[in-house]
Amino acid sequence: MKIHIISMFPDAFESYFESSIIGRAKENNLFEVFFYKINDFSTKKFKQADDKAYGMHGQVISPEPVAKAIEFVFEYIWKKVPIIYMTPRGKILTQEQVENFYKTSDEYIILCGHYEGIDQRIIDLYVNYEVSIWEYILSSGELSAMVLIDSLIRHIPWVLGNKISLEEESFSQKLNRQKEYPVYTRPQEFMEKKVPEVLMSWNHKEIEQWKKKNLS
Ligand SMILES: C[S@@+](CC[C@H](N)C(=O)[O-])C[C@H]1O[C@@H](n2cnc3c(N)ncnc32)[C@H](O)[C@@H]1O
Protein backbone atom coordinates (compact mmCIF):
# COMPACT_ATOMS: atom_id res chain seq x y z
CA MET A 1 0.00 0.00 0.00
CA LYS A 2 1.18 3.52 -0.80
CA ILE A 3 -0.20 6.61 0.89
CA HIS A 4 0.52 10.14 -0.31
CA ILE A 5 -0.28 12.77 2.31
CA ILE A 6 -0.69 16.41 1.28
CA SER A 7 -0.63 18.53 4.41
CA MET A 8 0.64 21.75 5.95
CA PHE A 9 2.00 19.82 8.95
CA PRO A 10 3.63 16.56 7.86
CA ASP A 11 5.63 16.53 11.13
CA ALA A 12 2.40 15.79 13.00
CA PHE A 13 2.51 12.22 11.64
CA GLU A 14 6.04 11.45 12.81
CA SER A 15 5.55 9.70 16.15
CA TYR A 16 2.42 7.93 14.94
CA PHE A 17 4.26 6.24 12.08
CA GLU A 18 7.02 5.17 14.43
CA SER A 19 5.00 3.51 17.17
CA SER A 20 3.55 0.09 17.85
CA ILE A 21 1.71 -1.91 15.17
CA ILE A 22 1.87 0.83 12.54
CA GLY A 23 5.55 1.51 13.21
CA ARG A 24 6.40 -2.19 12.84
CA ALA A 25 4.36 -2.45 9.64
CA LYS A 26 6.22 0.51 8.14
CA GLU A 27 9.57 -0.86 9.20
CA ASN A 28 8.69 -4.15 7.51
CA ASN A 29 7.74 -2.25 4.33
CA LEU A 30 4.14 -3.43 4.48
CA PHE A 31 3.17 0.09 3.41
CA GLU A 32 4.89 3.25 2.26
CA VAL A 33 4.00 6.81 3.10
CA PHE A 34 5.02 9.97 1.24
CA PHE A 35 4.58 13.52 2.49
CA TYR A 36 4.07 16.70 0.48
CA LYS A 37 4.10 19.92 2.48
CA ILE A 38 1.60 22.31 0.91
CA ASN A 39 3.74 25.38 1.64
CA ASP A 40 6.60 23.90 -0.40
CA PHE A 41 4.41 24.28 -3.50
CA SER A 42 3.61 27.93 -2.82
CA THR A 43 5.16 30.59 -5.03
CA LYS A 44 4.26 33.33 -2.53
CA LYS A 45 6.61 35.21 -0.30
CA PHE A 46 7.52 33.14 2.79
CA LYS A 47 5.84 30.10 1.15
CA GLN A 48 2.44 31.22 2.41
CA ALA A 49 -0.25 28.70 1.40
CA ASP A 50 -3.38 30.35 2.80
CA ASP A 51 -5.33 33.51 2.16
CA LYS A 52 -8.31 35.45 3.54
CA ALA A 53 -11.66 33.73 3.10
CA TYR A 54 -14.18 35.41 0.80
CA GLY A 55 -17.46 36.40 2.51
CA MET A 56 -16.52 35.25 6.00
CA HIS A 57 -13.85 35.52 8.68
CA GLY A 58 -10.77 33.31 8.69
CA GLN A 59 -8.19 31.87 6.35
CA VAL A 60 -8.58 29.26 3.62
CA ILE A 61 -5.85 27.09 2.05
CA SER A 62 -5.23 28.48 -1.43
CA PRO A 63 -5.98 26.30 -4.46
CA GLU A 64 -2.70 26.83 -6.35
CA PRO A 65 -0.21 25.08 -4.00
CA VAL A 66 -2.62 22.20 -3.36
CA ALA A 67 -3.17 21.68 -7.11
CA LYS A 68 0.57 21.79 -7.66
CA ALA A 69 1.14 19.21 -4.92
CA ILE A 70 -1.50 16.90 -6.42
CA GLU A 71 -0.05 17.28 -9.93
CA PHE A 72 3.39 16.57 -8.49
CA VAL A 73 2.11 13.28 -7.04
CA PHE A 74 0.41 12.45 -10.37
CA GLU A 75 3.78 12.61 -12.10
CA TYR A 76 4.92 9.62 -10.06
CA ILE A 77 1.74 7.57 -10.18
CA TRP A 78 0.84 5.65 -13.30
CA LYS A 79 -2.69 4.74 -12.35
CA LYS A 80 -5.81 6.51 -11.13
CA VAL A 81 -5.87 6.59 -7.33
CA PRO A 82 -8.59 7.83 -5.02
CA ILE A 83 -8.11 11.37 -3.71
CA ILE A 84 -9.62 11.69 -0.27
CA TYR A 85 -10.20 15.01 1.50
CA MET A 86 -10.55 14.89 5.29
CA THR A 87 -13.35 17.29 6.19
CA PRO A 88 -16.20 17.55 8.70
CA ARG A 89 -18.43 18.17 5.66
CA GLY A 90 -17.70 14.66 4.36
CA LYS A 91 -19.43 11.33 4.71
CA ILE A 92 -18.85 9.85 8.14
CA LEU A 93 -16.28 7.07 8.08
CA THR A 94 -17.52 3.58 8.98
CA GLN A 95 -15.80 0.21 9.05
CA GLU A 96 -17.71 -0.73 5.91
CA GLN A 97 -16.39 2.36 4.10
CA VAL A 98 -12.83 1.54 5.24
CA GLU A 99 -13.24 -1.99 3.81
CA ASN A 100 -14.49 -0.50 0.54
CA PHE A 101 -11.51 1.87 0.33
CA TYR A 102 -9.18 -1.05 0.98
CA LYS A 103 -10.81 -3.16 -1.75
CA THR A 104 -10.90 -0.28 -4.25
CA SER A 105 -7.21 0.63 -4.28
CA ASP A 106 -3.78 0.02 -2.79
CA GLU A 107 -2.70 3.62 -3.25
CA TYR A 108 -4.34 6.82 -1.98
CA ILE A 109 -3.81 10.54 -1.95
CA ILE A 110 -5.06 12.12 1.29
CA LEU A 111 -5.59 15.87 1.63
CA CYS A 112 -5.50 17.44 5.09
CA GLY A 113 -7.19 20.78 5.63
CA HIS A 114 -6.42 23.53 8.13
CA TYR A 115 -7.95 26.95 9.01
CA GLU A 116 -11.41 27.03 7.40
CA GLY A 117 -10.44 24.24 5.01
CA ILE A 118 -9.21 23.97 1.40
CA ASP A 119 -10.60 26.16 -1.40
CA GLN A 120 -13.72 24.41 -2.78
CA ARG A 121 -12.37 24.40 -6.34
CA ILE A 122 -9.78 21.80 -5.35
CA ILE A 123 -12.58 19.56 -4.10
CA ASP A 124 -14.60 20.14 -7.29
CA LEU A 125 -11.65 19.51 -9.59
CA TYR A 126 -9.74 16.68 -7.93
CA VAL A 127 -11.37 15.07 -4.90
CA ASN A 128 -13.16 11.71 -5.17
CA TYR A 129 -14.18 11.24 -1.53
CA GLU A 130 -14.84 13.67 1.30
CA VAL A 131 -14.43 11.87 4.62
CA SER A 132 -15.40 12.99 8.11
CA ILE A 133 -14.39 11.09 11.24
CA TRP A 134 -17.52 12.22 13.10
CA GLU A 135 -19.54 15.25 14.07
CA TYR A 136 -17.04 17.49 15.84
CA ILE A 137 -14.42 19.95 14.67
CA LEU A 138 -10.67 19.36 14.84
CA SER A 139 -8.24 22.16 14.13
CA SER A 140 -6.45 20.32 11.35
CA GLY A 141 -6.84 17.31 9.05
CA GLU A 142 -3.73 15.38 10.14
CA LEU A 143 -5.44 13.70 13.09
CA SER A 144 -8.43 12.61 11.00
CA ALA A 145 -6.08 11.38 8.25
CA MET A 146 -4.28 9.26 10.85
CA VAL A 147 -7.61 7.72 11.85
CA LEU A 148 -8.36 6.78 8.25
CA ILE A 149 -4.81 5.52 7.60
CA ASP A 150 -4.75 3.40 10.77
CA SER A 151 -8.08 1.79 9.92
CA LEU A 152 -6.83 1.04 6.38
CA ILE A 153 -3.42 -0.29 7.30
CA ARG A 154 -4.91 -2.87 9.67
CA HIS A 155 -6.29 -4.66 6.60
CA ILE A 156 -2.89 -5.30 5.03
CA PRO A 157 -1.98 -8.97 5.51
CA TRP A 158 0.60 -9.49 8.28
CA VAL A 159 0.08 -6.07 9.89
CA LEU A 160 -1.92 -7.61 12.72
CA GLY A 161 -0.18 -10.96 12.46
CA ASN A 162 -3.49 -12.73 13.07
CA LYS A 163 -6.18 -12.54 10.40
CA ILE A 164 -8.85 -13.70 12.86
CA SER A 165 -8.53 -10.59 15.02
CA LEU A 166 -9.33 -8.49 11.96
CA GLU A 167 -12.30 -10.58 10.87
CA GLU A 168 -13.94 -10.75 14.28
CA GLU A 169 -13.94 -7.19 15.51
CA SER A 170 -16.50 -4.56 16.37
CA PHE A 171 -18.36 -3.45 13.22
CA SER A 172 -16.95 -6.32 11.13
CA GLN A 173 -19.18 -8.19 8.71
CA LYS A 174 -18.68 -11.38 10.73
CA LEU A 175 -20.16 -9.70 13.83
CA ASN A 176 -23.03 -8.25 11.76
CA ARG A 177 -21.49 -4.78 12.19
CA GLN A 178 -22.26 -5.01 15.92
CA LYS A 179 -19.91 -4.18 18.80
CA GLU A 180 -17.63 -6.93 20.02
CA TYR A 181 -18.20 -8.91 23.25
CA PRO A 182 -16.07 -7.99 26.34
CA VAL A 183 -12.57 -9.48 26.46
CA TYR A 184 -10.55 -10.89 29.38
CA THR A 185 -7.04 -12.11 30.19
CA ARG A 186 -5.22 -13.42 33.28
CA PRO A 187 -5.65 -13.32 36.26
CA GLN A 188 -8.87 -15.32 36.49
CA GLU A 189 -9.94 -13.14 39.43
CA PHE A 190 -9.20 -9.44 39.77
CA MET A 191 -10.55 -7.27 42.60
CA GLU A 192 -13.18 -9.94 43.29
CA LYS A 193 -14.31 -9.92 39.66
CA LYS A 194 -14.03 -13.24 37.83
CA VAL A 195 -13.56 -14.06 34.18
CA PRO A 196 -16.83 -15.63 32.93
CA GLU A 197 -16.59 -19.39 33.55
CA VAL A 198 -17.56 -20.32 30.02
CA LEU A 199 -14.54 -18.55 28.48
CA MET A 200 -12.20 -20.85 30.43
CA SER A 201 -14.14 -24.00 29.56
CA TRP A 202 -12.62 -24.87 26.15
CA ASN A 203 -16.19 -25.63 25.09
CA HIS A 204 -16.12 -23.91 21.69
CA LYS A 205 -19.84 -24.21 21.09
CA GLU A 206 -20.69 -22.55 24.40
CA ILE A 207 -18.00 -19.92 23.95
CA GLU A 208 -19.45 -19.01 20.55
CA GLN A 209 -22.93 -18.77 22.10
CA TRP A 210 -21.61 -16.53 24.88
CA LYS A 211 -19.89 -14.28 22.35
CA LYS A 212 -23.05 -13.96 20.28
CA LYS A 213 -25.11 -13.15 23.36
CA ASN A 214 -22.65 -10.46 24.40
CA LEU A 215 -22.53 -8.52 21.15
CA SER A 216 -24.16 -5.12 21.40
C1 LIG B 1 -11.13 23.86 11.67
S2 LIG B 1 -11.40 22.62 10.49
C3 LIG B 1 -12.36 23.44 9.29
C4 LIG B 1 -13.81 23.40 9.62
C5 LIG B 1 -14.68 24.03 8.57
N6 LIG B 1 -14.55 25.44 8.58
C7 LIG B 1 -16.12 23.66 8.84
O8 LIG B 1 -16.80 24.36 9.59
O9 LIG B 1 -16.56 22.60 8.32
C10 LIG B 1 -9.83 22.46 9.73
C11 LIG B 1 -9.55 21.11 9.09
O12 LIG B 1 -9.58 20.09 10.06
C13 LIG B 1 -10.00 18.86 9.48
N14 LIG B 1 -11.16 18.36 10.24
C15 LIG B 1 -11.78 18.98 11.26
N16 LIG B 1 -12.78 18.27 11.76
C17 LIG B 1 -12.81 17.12 11.04
C18 LIG B 1 -13.64 15.97 11.06
N19 LIG B 1 -14.66 15.84 11.93
N20 LIG B 1 -13.40 14.98 10.18
C21 LIG B 1 -12.39 15.08 9.28
N22 LIG B 1 -11.57 16.15 9.22
C23 LIG B 1 -11.77 17.16 10.07
C24 LIG B 1 -10.34 19.17 8.02
O25 LIG B 1 -9.24 18.79 7.20
C26 LIG B 1 -10.55 20.65 8.03
O27 LIG B 1 -10.30 21.24 6.77
pLDDT of residue 158: 86
What is the whole-number distance in angstroms between the Cα of residue 189 and the centre of ligand 1?
A: 45
Alpha-carbon distance of 42 to 36, in angstroms, equals: 12
3-state secondary structure of 198: helix
Alpha-carbon distance of 187 to 101, in angstroms, equals: 39
Using one digit for the tens of pLDDT, what is the confidence trace for 150-170? 999 999 988 887 766 778 899
With a pLDDT cut of 90, the percent of the chain lying above it is: 92
Residue 126: alpha-carbon gap to chain centroid: 19
Q: Which amino acid is it at 95?
A: Q
pLDDT exceeds 80 at position 24: yes
pLDDT of residue 6: 98
Contact predicate 121/64, CB 8 Å: no
Alpha-carbon distance of 204 to 212, in angstroms, equals: 12
The yes/no answer on whether domain 2-153 falls in CATH 3.40.50.720 is: no
| Average pLDDT of the chain, as a whole number | 95
Using one digit for the tens of pLDDT, what is the confidence trace for 108-136? 999 999 999 999 999 999 999 999 999 99
Q: Which of 54, 87, 111, 134 to mutate to test the pocket of ligand 1 (most atoms within 8 A of CB)?
A: 87
Would you list the domain boundaries of the chain? 2-153, 163-213
Using one digit for the tens of pLDDT, what is the confidence trace for 36-93? 999 999 999 999 999 999 999 999 999 999 999 999 999 999 888 999 999 999 999 9
Which CATH architecture does the domain made up of 163-213 adopt?
Orthogonal Bundle (1.10)
pLDDT of residue 164: 67
Q: Give the list of residues 6+ apart from residue 11 with CB closer than 8 angstroms, or none.
A: none
pLDDT of residue 66: 98
What is the whole-number distance in angstroms between the Cα of residue 39 and the centre of ligand 1?
A: 19
Q: Which residues pair with 36 in a beta bridge?
A: 6
Using one digit for the tens of pLDDT, what is the confidence trace for 132-149? 999 999 999 999 999 999
Angle at 45 between CA 42 and CA 47, to 5 degrees: 35
**Do the domains at 2-153 and 163-213 have one common CATH topology?**
no
Q: What is the Cβ-side half-sphere exposure of residue 44, based on CA atoms within 13 angstroms? A: 14
Q: Region 97-105: what's the mean pLDDT? A: 97
